[in-house]
Amino acid sequence: MSLFPLPCGDHLLHGDQLHCAQPRTHLLLLHGAGNGQRAPFQPLRQTLQQQGIASTAFDFVGHGDTGGSLTGSSLAHRVSQTHAVLAASGLHGMSLALLGSSMGAYIAIRLLDDIQCSHLILQVPGAYTPDAFAVPFGPAFSAVLRQQDSWLDSDAWDRLAGFRGHLLLVEAEHDAVIPRALSQRLHDSASQAKSRSRLLIDGASHLLAAHWQAHPDAARRYQQHIARFLLQD
């Protein structure tokens, strides 16, 4: 593992890369909001490394080792942070796999216009109206999201319409945050994808990391499922 601190505006992003001698693909992982951070991805990444899949993950501003305040940050800022990591890691211009969890799934979708993506994993995915994109996190951002079914106005549908790689949607059986209809629409929007599949995690809530910790056998099955997905041509 190689750790990196990366200047990004007034912040120092912290992340790491897991390397392989001859990687079969490279996965960029993007965590969600709330208590999200890159650490819970580590068991999955280690399993993937054993199968020749390298990976990069970092903590967004306001989370994990990066720390700092969310004040002034936004969805747009998270896209900028991700581009900074891609550039500094030498990953721009490469064909990548993306895994985005919750809010991170929307960030992954926003990247599709700018990078080559062979495999896209949207884990308990969020989708947001474009009106929320540049609004700083906090009361103003929450006010936009509180508008009835604001996610129906998302630009995610149009952005996925041109995706031609492999798509996997991961849904939690008892997700009280993400409507099942949202995942269905993401699936339906990716009509040009090379493949589309959905995986329902039985008994899980939106907080998948807690589910994996409580159910290690289910976690191992999930890790193997992700590995098989990423290794398909």
pTM across the whole model: 0.96
- Domain spanning 2-231: CATH 3.40.50.1820: yes
Q: Do the bridges between strand 95-101 and strand 116-123 make them parallel or antiparallel, or are there none, so unpaired?
A: parallel
Instruction: Identify which of 85, 194, 192, 181 has the alpha carbon closest to the alpha carbon of residue 127.
Output: 181
What average pLDDT does the segment 19-29 reach? 93
Phi, psi of 168, rounded to the nearest 5 degrees: -125, 125
Q: If DSSP codes are grouped into helix, strand and coil, which group holds residue 187? A: helix
- pLDDT tens digits along 177-194: 999 999 999 999 999 999
Q: How far apart are CA 50 and CA 53, in angstroms?
A: 7
| Strand partners for 31 | none
Q: Is the pLDDT of residue 145 over 80?
A: yes
Q: How far apart are CA 164 and CA 227, in angstroms?
A: 20
- Confidence class for position 122, pLDDT limits 50, 70, 90: very high
- CA 94 to chain CA centroid, Å, is 18
- pLDDT tens digits along 148-166: 888 999 999 999 999 999 9
- Residue 115 CB partners (closer than 8 Å, separation 6+): 86, 92, 96
Instruction: Identify which of 53, 118, 107 has the alpha carbon closest to the alpha carbon of residue 85.
Output: 107
- Residue 143 CB partners (closer than 8 Å, separation 6+): none
Amino acid code (one letter) for 152: L
Domain ranges of the chain: 2-231
Reported as type and span, the H/E element at residue 44 is helix 42-50
**Chain mean pLDDT for the chain:** 94
